[in-house]
Amino acid sequence: MRPAAGVAGIVGRLLCLLGFHDFKIIDATIGFGSAGGTSTVRCQRCGRVVTRSN
């Protein structure tokens, strides 16, 4: 592993610890009207999966 990649990984992990995840939408449900939908997102760094309402 290159040193630069290692540093980026450490910084990314710190950001995750602070709650700044690099979320990517892996599933989404379209809502209707005011009900809204939900989207499932996963952090590309730590793998945390969160379902949140839109």
Contact 26, 40 (CB under 8 A): yes
Window 6-35: contact mask with Zn ion (x via CB under 5 A):
----------x----x--------------
Phi-psi region of 36 (alpha: psi -120 to 50; beta: other; left: phi over 0): left
Q: Is 42 in the site for Zn ion (CB under 5 A)?
A: no
Given the structure tokens 């910084």, which residue do they identify?
11
Least distance from Zn ion to the Cβ atom of residue 34, Å: 31
Stretch that binds Zn ion, among 2-10, 26-34, 38-46 (CB under 5 A): 38-46
